């Protein structure tokens, strides 16, 4: 007879594993945001999650695998909102920029841990071969959002993606500075300034949009 895994108090074994995995991801976010990726250990994450190392290895092979999963979760969250903005291709360029940039900044500032983690990810030597290119992923997404359905050449897209990479990296730094109280502007002003920079970047490539 096949082995049957019965639910414990109405929660299946798979659901319990997923719950523990999310506990570890949240614990990692806590520690990285305060101490940085370089000093984050498997032991500290497990302790913060209230789990033993046995459960850590149930979900992740290594510490870097945990970082990768956390980065993927954050990028997926950011992508979902930006893609919603992308679907509204009939809107004006500045509105698309405000919506996309606004979503990114809202995600990062509503939970400052995410902003600090994303800043750590940018140019990370620890994850250079895996998620070290998170900023490139978002730069491509921003390029798609800004150009939308316009008939742009590959050369134009490449030029804008270079500018978008600078904007994404700079946004992460600006958000962390804002969270630290070093930029005395409102969140709305922060969004507007970065949106206007994005529009200006587009106009250096396509003045007709």
72-91: average pLDDT: 77
> Which SS3 state, helix, strand or coil, does residue 170 take?
helix
Q: What is the DSSP letter of 36?
A: -
Based on the fold, state whether residues 96 and 163 are members of the same structural domain. Answer: yes
What is the number of domains present in the chain? 2
Q: Which residues contact 117 (CB under 8 A, 6 or more apart)?
A: 29, 32, 33, 70, 71, 74
- 6 pLDDT band (50/70/90 cuts)? low
CATH code of the domain covering residue 101: 1.10.357.10
Provide the sign of the torsion angle of the four alpha carbons 119, 124, 126, 129, taken in this order. Answer: positive
Per-residue confidence at 82, pLDDT binned at 50, 70, 90?
confident
* pLDDT score for 114: 94
Comparison of pLDDT for 203 and 208, the residue scoring more? 203
Helix axes of 13-35 and 112-121: crossing angle, nearest 10 degrees:
80
Record the tokens describing residue 178, joined without a space: 């804002």
Residue 16 sits in the same domain as residue 43: yes
Instruction: Note whether 137 and 177 are same-domain residues.
Output: yes
Mean pLDDT computed over 164-192: 94
Supply the range of the domain harboring residue 176.
63-205
Greater confidence (83 vs 166) lies with 166
Give the tokens for residue 124: 């990370």
Which residues have a Cβ under 8 Å from the Cβ of 95 and sit 6 or more positions away? 88
């Amino acid at each position: 007879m096949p082995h049957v895994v019965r639910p414990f108090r109405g929660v299946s074994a798979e659901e319990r594993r997923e719950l523990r995995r999310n506990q570890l991801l949240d614990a990692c976010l806590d520690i990285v945001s305060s101490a940085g990726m370089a000093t984050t250990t498997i032991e500290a994450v497990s302790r913060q999650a209230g789990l033993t190392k046995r459960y850590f290895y149930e979900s992740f092979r290594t510490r870097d695998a945990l970082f990768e999963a956390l980065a993927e979760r954050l990028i997926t969250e950011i992508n979902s909102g930006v893609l919603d903005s992308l679907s509204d291709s009939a809107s004006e360029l500045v509105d698309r920029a405000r919506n996309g940039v606004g979503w990114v900044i809202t995600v990062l500032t509503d939970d400052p841990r995410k902003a600090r983690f994303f800043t750590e990810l940018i140019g990370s030597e620890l994850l250079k071969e895996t998620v070290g290119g998170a900023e490139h992923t978002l730069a491509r997404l921003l390029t798609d959002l800004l150009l939308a359905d316009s008939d742009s050449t590959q050369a134009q897209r490449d030029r804008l993606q270079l500018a978008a990479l600078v904007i994404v990296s700079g946004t992460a730094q600006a958000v962390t500075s804002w969270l630290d109280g070093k930029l005395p502007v409102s969140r709305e002003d922060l969004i507007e300034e970065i949106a206007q920079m994005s529009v200006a970047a587009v106009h250096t490539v396509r003045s007709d949009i």
